Structure 1
Amino acid sequence: MFDKLFEAQQKAEEIKKRLDTISVSGEAEGGRIRVSATANKHIESISIDTELIRVENKEELEELIAVAVNKALEQAEKISQAEMQAATRDMLGGFGNMFGQ
C-alpha cells in the first residue's frame, strides 16, 4: 500500500513538472492585452498595447488586465484538473488491483 502512495506522490510531482511546461494565455480588449502563464498558474508575461497606456485610462486598464489574467488562470485550472483526474484514475486502478478487484 505504501508503494502505491509513494507512486501517487511521484505521479503528482511529474504532473507539476509537466504543468510548468504548458503555456496558457488570456486576452482582453480584442487581444490588446495578453497574459501568458503556465498551467501551474504562474504568470510569465503581460503584454499591453501602447495605445491603452494613458493616465486617464488607468482604471479601465487595470480591469482589462484582471480580465486577461483571470482568463489565463481559468485555462490553467482546466488543464490542471484534467491532469489530476487522469492521474487519479490511474492511481485508483492501481488500488483496485491491490485489493484483487
Structure 2
Amino acid sequence: MFGDMMNMMGKLKETQQKVEDTKKRLDTVLIDESSNDNKLKITLTANRTIKSIDINDELLEDKEQLEDYLILTLNKAIEKATKVNEAELAAVAKEGMPNIPGMDLFK
C-alpha cells in the first residue's frame, strides 16, 4: 500500500511538471482573430496574452466604432484561446490522473 501511495505521489509530481511545461508551451501557440471585414486583426497566445493588434486606418476615424471592433474581436480571440488552453491542460491532467473509480472528472 505504501508503495502504491509513493507511486501515486510520483505520478502527481510528474503531472504537475507536465502541466507547467504545457503552460509554457501555450505561450508559443498563437491565436489569430479578425473582424468580419478584416479591418481589425488580433493575435494572442493560448495563455491569453495579446501579441499584436492591427487596426485599419479607416477605423481610426471613428472612436466608437473602433471600441466596438476591439470589444467584439478581442472577446472572440479570448474565447478561442481559452478553449485551446483548457483542452490542452485538461488532456495533460487526465493523462496523469490515477484511475480511481467514481472520479471521472476529465471525461
Question: Do these two structures clear the TM 0.5 threshold for a shared fold by scoring above it?
Answer: yes
One-letter amino acid of the counterpart of residue 8, structure 1: T
Q: Which residue number corresponds to residue 104 of structure 2?
A: none
Is this contact kept in 1: 2:42–2:54, CA < 8 A? yes
How many residue pairs match? The answer is 93
Q: Which residue number corresponds to residue 64 of structure 2?
A: 59
Q: Which residue number corresponds to residue 77 of structure 1?
A: 82
Structure 1: runs of 5 or more not aligned = none
Superposition TM-score, scaled by structure 2 size: 0.80
Structure 2: runs of 5 or more not aligned = 1-7, 101-107
Q: Which residue number corresponds to residue 91 of structure 2?
A: 86
- What SS does structure 2 have at the residue aligned with 1:40? coil
In terms of fraction of residues, the more helix-rich structure is 1
Tell me the percent identity: 39
RMSD between aligned residues: 1.5
Is this contact kept in 2: 1:24–1:37, CA < 8 A? yes
Q: Which residue number corresponds to residue 105 of structure 2?
A: none
Which consecutive segments of 4 or more residues in structure 1 shift more than 4 A?
A: none
Structure 1 stretch displaced more, 39-48 or 62-71: 62-71
Q: Which residue number corresponds to residue 43 of structure 1?
A: 50
Of 7, 14, 27, the match for 1:20 = 27
- Aligned: 1:7 with 2:10: no
